[in-house]
């Protein structure tokens, strides 16, 4: 039996608002198999983004563990987590978080270069991904010179540069108009298929979620498949 790529084991998470405690998850168990493409939907405030941040090891559960390719992460230091994250995960957020002082090519290539990949190999991999998202003519442009859709396409290429097995996307088209949203959706799903990645998507766009073929609704701290 193949080890799940992502596994949540007994995950609990709560936060305080003054005197009250809001429990988002209690003893949540869930797995995502390799090659899966799944979407998490739910009402605002249901904890979708928190759940994705937990899966990305950007936040830690109050109890329980997050396993990536079968490896527990609860006991890892922040340095060790960063190393695991760079090898196992590609992250795409609602905001692109591009470095404004670097070009498109540099923004995409840097994550690979910083993990020890040679400059030549990092830049070649970045050029290939930039071409795949249709931005070869923008390689030397800076983020402020790009449209919103172009920035998000750059962020998608950057998320793939380290060849991670798992891609996590949090409302990746949430800030785009319908035209650019459709372009980014198409690119994300086609690249996941072409690059043979596993995708976990958080979105409020029900039509986008349907394109994944596997929808989980987050309600009452539980993930229920639709």
Residue 112 confidence (pLDDT) above 90: yes
Which pLDDT score, from 0 to 100, does residue 92 have?
Answer: 87
pLDDT of residue 95: 77
Task: Provide the sign of the torsion angle of the four alpha carbons 131, 134, 136, 138, taken in this order.
Answer: negative
Question: Does the structure show a pLDDT above 80 at 19?
Answer: no
Mean residue pLDDT of the chain comes to 89
CATH 3.40.50.300 for domain 6-225: yes
88/16: higher pLDDT: 88
Question: Mean pLDDT, to the nearest integer, of 138-158?
Answer: 93
| pTM, rounded to two decimals | 0.87
Res 82 pLDDT > 70: yes
With contact defined as beta carbons under 8 Å apart, do 29 and 216 qualify?
no
Question: What is the pLDDT averaged over residues 123-144?
Answer: 94
Residue 155's pLDDT band, with cuts at 50, 70 and 90, is very high
Provide DSSP, 28-94.
EEEEE-TT-EEEEE--TTSSHHHHHHHHTTSS--SEEEEEETTEE-TT--HHHHHHHHHHHEEEE-S
- Contact yes or no for 130/139 (Cβ under 8 A): yes
- Position 185 pLDDT exceeds 70: yes
- Residue-range domain boundaries for the chain: 6-225
Confidence of residue 113 (pLDDT cuts 50, 70, 90): very high
Q: Is the pLDDT score of 1 beyond 70?
A: no
pLDDT at 148: 87
Q: Higher-confidence residue: 138 or 93?
A: 138
Q: Is the pLDDT of residue 47 over 90?
A: no
Average pLDDT estimate for 55-61: 92
Strand-pair partners of 200: 38, 168
């Amino acid at each position: 039996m193949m080890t799940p790529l992502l596994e949540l084991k007994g995950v609990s998470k709560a936060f305080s608002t003054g005197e009250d405690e809001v429990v988002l998850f209690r003893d949540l168990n869930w797995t995502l198999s390799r090659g899966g493409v799944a979407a998490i939907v739910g009402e605002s405030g249901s904890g979708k983004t928190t759940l994705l941040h937990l899966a990305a090891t950007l936040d830690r559960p109050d109890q329980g563990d997050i396993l990536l390719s079968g490896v527990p992460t609860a006991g890892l230091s922040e340095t060790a987590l960063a190393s695991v994250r760079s090898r196992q995960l590609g992250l795409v957020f609602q905001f692109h978080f591009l470095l404004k002082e670097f070009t498109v090519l540099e923004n995409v290539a840097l994550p690979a270069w910083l993990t020890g990949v040679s400059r030549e190999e990092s830049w070649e991999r970045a050029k290939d991904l930039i071409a795949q998202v249709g931005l070869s003519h923008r390689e030397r442009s800076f983020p402020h010179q790009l449209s919103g859709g172009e920035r998000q396409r750059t962020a998608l290429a950057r998320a793939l540069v380290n060849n991670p097995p798992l891609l996590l996307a949090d409302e990746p088209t949430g800030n785009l108009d319908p035209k650019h949203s459709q372009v980014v959706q198409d690119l994300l799903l086609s690249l996941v298929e072409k690059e043979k990645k596993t995708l976990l998507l958080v979105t409020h766009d029900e039509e986008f979620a349907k394109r994944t073929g596997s929808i989980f609704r987050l309600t009452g701290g539980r993930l229920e498949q639709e």
